[in-house]
Amino acid sequence: QQNLSLLSPQQIELAKMLVEMGQSHVFEKWTEPGVDDDEKRAFFDQMARLNASYPGGLMSYIQTARQLLADSKAGKNPFDGFTPSVPSGEVLTFGDDNFVQFENIGVREARNAAFVLVAGGLGERLGYNGIKVALPAESTSGTCFLQHYIESILALQDVSGEHQGEIPLVIMTSDDTHSHTVELLESNGYFGMKSTQVKLLKQEKVACLDDNDARFSVDPHNKYRIQTKPHGHGDVHSLLYSSGLLKEWHEAGLRWVLFFQDTNGLLFKAIPAALGVSASKQYHVNSLAVPRKAKEAIGGIAKLTHADGRTMVINVEYNQLDPLLRATGYPDGDVNCETGYSPFPGNINQLIFELGPYIEELTKTGGSIKEFVNPKYKDSSKSAFKSSTRLECMMQDYPKTLPPSARVGFTVLDTWLAYAPVKNNPEDAAKVPKGNPYHSATSGEMAIYRANSLILRKAGVKVEDPVNQVFNGQEVEVWPLITWKPKWALTFADIKRKVSGSCSISQKSAMVIKGRNIFLEDLSLDGALVIDAVEETEVKVGGSVQNKGWMIENVDYKDVSAPEEVRIRGFRINRVEHLEKTYSEPGKFTLKG
Ligand code: UGB
């Protein structure tokens, strides 16, 4: 009964489709024709966007939702007929010959790679008010995650000084993160990357559903809008496909696409070796993994074998692994084995795909990924929801549609080397069961110092043992505060080239290395040292550097006088005394403490 002349033929089609698909309630409270016309037009704009951004359009969204909601109501197990077992993959140990060999291959392969950062998530668990990629990964240099990622990619691009073209970076954003991400990049000159090298792809949200018939939820604040929520990181595949970038990369001769998440300050220490594994084993899909504590909130990688003989190696989300195990002959569910870890490696959701087979698959699927729905029911009749729900999808579910011939593998790396995300707020982190990782801003930062200390130890530096300290209710190891720019060292071989003689670093020390050609030789550090040099300059740092150094001071997360970035990690660095040297002239220099 609305004034149809207001609508374009496409909008009339959309309206008809909505009515036919059982959505006439969305028009129920509309005013008479001629009133609120702008709002009504805006409603159709929203519908057109939702229709265009979902593979197959809204009709397909509603049909899939009905099916998945019916399965959920019936308690259908998404893994029905499948039995899990522990898959075999490549297990690496940092610094051994195997690891070094893979790093060597991987670091050379990186120039054939494109990187894709999924950063559309709001990070509700962390509760930080800004975007997560803008958070400092560590406080010695204040480098934020996005800067660290970009500098790591640039360092990979420059390996051995051969400028072999640019490594593309795609960032998937959402309405929640897009404008802040653009602002962060633009106000920092893209952190040294060319602006044309970075592409942003914004994911759209999907319609929320009120009931098992998949009726759209009308926004309680505006009767001319449908409520929407994020669809999950799985959107990255259809967005990449429809952007045309995959084809462009393929034509440019690229071979790998690496997907990674927003807040893992260790990731790039694992990338070269994992990429080396992909190249050597010719994996179409390679998931990076770490040993996983049973019930830890990361997915487990499992081999699933169907009664009909089909098998796949796939991530099983943490909330599904325990019930699946219980239903298939493991009455204790997800428990640690004699190693103290779950036998299923933990998915850290850093994925390496071979581009050719990836394009081939997406040409068939358009990039749509198997979805799931997770309604919170009011009662056991499962006929009504506590709040609206929506379909979701995960990027690691990509292998679910692959044929059995696809080479799907994984690479397990030491947790201390590869994985320290910042996901949990201080209060929740403090409640994490003892022995399980906090995944907080506190633990994320301390993990960087620990990894750098352990890497230097492995290269022969005597790094003193850490002390235990409590920040925001979380007990962590405090190692010397050691950081370096990715261009200083990407691989263990780089570290070994840059460190020689007899070096030692005391626990209360801090060391920040910013320049590329800085060599530590017979250095004994007991204090704080910050050193930078321009590209053409070589600096040998040695002797005994001793000063009062930097102190770590506790900050309570409830102390609103401190900036949020500081509060959530529970400490700040008080720079009492340090030796800071910047070499801005070309040449060879020696710094003797
Ligand atoms: N993200 C998006 O870009 N868009 C979205 O709509 C949602 C998220 P979370 P999650 O590493 O510990 C994943 O929320 O989804 C981005 C794996 O599924 O941090 O709970 C977001 O910005 C799980 O198997 O994680 O769990 C972020 O960069 C396990 O590996 C990324 O997606 C777990 O991560 C992940 O989003 C983990």
Residue 208 near ligand 1, beta carbon < 6 Å = no
Residue 393 near ligand 1, beta carbon < 6 Å = no
Rounded (10°) angle between helices 37-53 and 57-73: 70
Distance CA 577, CA 549 (A): 5
Nearest Cα residue to atom 35 of ligand 1: 261
Name the E strands within 142-266.
169-173, 198-202, 206-207, 228-229, 256-260
284-290-296 Cα angle (round to 5) = 120
> What pLDDT sits at residue 75?
85
Residue 300 near ligand 1, beta carbon < 6 Å = no
Best mutation site among 349, 400, 439 for ligand 1, i.e. most ligand atoms within 8 A of its Cβ?
Answer: 349
Residue 408 near ligand 1, beta carbon < 6 Å = no
Position in ligand 1 atom list of the atom nearest CA 230: 6
248 φ, ψ (degrees, to nearest 5): -60, -45
Q: Rg of the chain over CA atoms, in angstroms?
A: 26
The whole-model pTM stands at 0.94
Q: Quick one: DSSP state of residue 377?
A: B
Paired with 170 in beta bridges are 116, 199
DSSP string covering 418-454: H--B--B-HHHHHTSPTTS---BHHHHHHHHHHHHHH
Residue 171 near ligand 1, beta carbon < 6 Å = no
- Give me ligand 1 centre to Cα 233, in Å: 6
Residue 233 near ligand 1, beta carbon < 6 Å = yes
The token pair that represents 523 in the structure block: 């250095």
Q: Which residue has the tokens 């770590």?
A: 552
Nearest Cα residue to atom 33 of ligand 1: 298
Return the closest-CA partner of residue 61 out of 222, 202, 229.
229
Residue 414 to residues 266, 300, 467, Cα–Cα distance (Å): 11, 16, 21
Contact 546, 526 (CB under 8 A): yes
> What pLDDT sits at residue 226?
97
Return the closest-CA partner of residue 247 out of 337, 352, 367.
367
- Give me ligand 1 centre to Cα 410, in Å: 18
Nearest Cα residue to atom 36 of ligand 1: 121
227 φ, ψ (degrees, to nearest 5): -65, 140
Residue 245 near ligand 1, beta carbon < 6 Å = no
How many residues are present in the chain?
Answer: 593
The token pair that represents 60 in the structure block: 């397909």
Distance CA 36, CA 43 (A): 11
Return the closest-CA partner of residue 147 out of 233, 256, 265.
265
518-526 and 499-500 strand pairing: parallel
- Give me ligand 1 centre to Cα 261, in Å: 7
522 φ, ψ (degrees, to nearest 5): 50, 45
Residue 409 near ligand 1, beta carbon < 6 Å = no
> What pLDDT sits at residue 3?
59
- Give me ligand 1 centre to Cα 268, in Å: 18
Q: Is 25 helix (H, G, I), strand (E, B) or coil?
A: helix
> What pLDDT sits at residue 309?
86
Nearest Cα residue to atom 3 of ligand 1: 120
Position in ligand 1 atom list of the atom nearest CA 264: 11
Instruction: Give the alpha-carbon dihedral of 577, 579, 584, 585, to 10 degrees.
Output: 150
Return the closest-CA partner of residue 87 out of 312, 398, 240.
312
Distance CA 79, CA 86 (A): 16
Quick check: ipTM above 0.95? yes
Nearest Cα residue to atom 8 of ligand 1: 121
- The per-residue pLDDT string of the chain (593 residues; one tens digit each, 9 = 90 and over) reads 555 667 788 889 999 999 999 999 999 999 988 899 899 999 999 999 999 989 889 999 999 999 999 999 998 878 889 999 998 899 999 999 999 999 999 999 999 999 999 999 988 899 899 999 999 999 999 999 999 999 999 999 998 555 568 999 999 999 999 999 999 999 999 999 999 999 999 999 999 999 999 999 999 999 999 999 999 999 999 999 999 999 999 999 999 999 999 999 999 999 999 999 999 999 999 999 999 989 888 899 999 999 988 888 999 988 889 889 998 988 999 999 998 999 999 999 999 999 999 999 999 999 989 999 999 999 999 999 999 999 999 999 999 989 888 999 999 999 999 999 999 999 999 999 888 899 999 999 999 999 999 999 999 999 999 999 999 999 999 999 999 999 999 999 999 999 999 999 999 999 999 999 999 999 999 999 999 999 999 999 999 999 999 999 999 999 999 999 999 999 999 999 999 999 999 999 999 98
Residue 172 near ligand 1, beta carbon < 6 Å = yes
198 φ, ψ (degrees, to nearest 5): -105, 130
Distance CA 164, CA 197 (A): 14
The token pair that represents 471 in the structure block: 């920040």
Residue 314 near ligand 1, beta carbon < 6 Å = no
Q: Which residue has the tokens 């979902």?
A: 54
Secondary element (H or E) of residue 320: helix 318-327
Residue 570 near ligand 1, beta carbon < 6 Å = no
Residue 173 near ligand 1, beta carbon < 6 Å = no
> What pLDDT sits at residue 404?
83
DSSP string covering 113-173: EEEEEE-----TTTT-SS-GGGSBS-TTT--BHHHHHHHHHHHHHTGGG----PPPEEEEE
Position in ligand 1 atom list of the atom nearest CA 177: 22
